[in-house]
């Protein structure tokens, strides 16, 4: 079966939402409370938000790139520019049953190509939650180097987390 990496359109919204929700649960179910996970999913992976993020793109948000196999979204990711020369990967999730097939690498490559070629990024950043042993080894294998710790972006009822900031030259 062929896996295609394409820019998402409104027809892919539900598939993106499912991959992101399932990926978030698989990544964080052992480290965060159910209430926290549900709050983050409600904020970032609702139909309305993803539809907006698929239809309204810019340098700050380049849109979603997705991995599609037989019309099913099996991976989704996106990023944008945080300044004139720095890109960032904001989101990257896979169907949890499809890890270790190179799909995440292909989605990351599409995000990187956009940031490098269309937006002229020289470096790329990513935030990974401390303890995320799915994300940390993946990004380190792609040449990202730990830079510093900071408080994570998402907060639900006072619960937050520590984010690890990684960077690589592109």
CA 11 – CA 4 distance, rounded (Å): 15
Helix (H/G/I), strand (E/B), else coil: 109: helix
- One DSSP character per residue, 4-68 reads EEEE--GGGHHHHHHHHHHHHHHHHTTTS-HHHHHHHHHHHS-HHHHHHHHH---SS---EEEEE
Mean pLDDT of 73-82: 98
Exposed, middle or buried by CB within 10 Å (0-12, 13-18, 19+), for 89? buried
28-71, pLDDT tens digit by residue?
998 888 998 999 999 999 999 999 999 999 999 999 999 999 99
At residue 31, the pLDDT reads 85
**Per-chain mean pLDDT for the chain:** 94
Domains in the chain, CATH or no CATH each: 3-121 (3.40.630.30)
Please give the model's pTM, rounded to 2 decimal places.
Answer: 0.94
Per-residue tokens: 77: 């990711």
Helix (H/G/I), strand (E/B), else coil: 118: helix
Neighbours of 76 (CB within 10 A): 27
CA 123 – CA 115 distance, rounded (Å): 9
- Please provide the distance, in angstroms rounded to a whole number, between the alpha carbons at the two ends of the chain: 31
123-146, pLDDT tens digit by residue?
999 999 888 989 999 999 999 999
Q: What share of the chain has pLDDT > 90, as a percent?
A: 84
Per-residue tokens: 104: 């995440």
């Amino acid at each position: 079966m062929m896996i295609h990496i394409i820019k998402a359109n409104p027809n892919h919204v539900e598939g993106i939402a499912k991959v992101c929700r399932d990926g978030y649960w698989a990544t964080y179910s052992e480290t965060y409370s159910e209430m926290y996970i549900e709050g983050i999913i409600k904020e970032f992976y609702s139909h309305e938000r993803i539809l907006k993020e698929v239809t309204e793109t810019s340098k700050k948000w380049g849109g979603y790139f997705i991995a599609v196999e037989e019309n099913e979204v099996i991976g989704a990711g996106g990023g944008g520019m945080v300044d004139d020369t720095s890109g960032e990967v904001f989101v990257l999730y896979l169907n949890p049953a499809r890890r270790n097939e190179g799909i995440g690498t292909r989605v990351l490559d599409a995000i990187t190509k956009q940031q490098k070629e269309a937006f002229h990024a020289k470096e790329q950043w990513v935030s990974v939650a401390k303890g995320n042993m799915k994300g940390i080894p993946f990004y380190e294998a792609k040449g990202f180097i730990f830079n510093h710790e900071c408080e994570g972006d998402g907060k639900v009822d006072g619960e937050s987390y520590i984010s690890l900031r990684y960077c690589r030259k592109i």
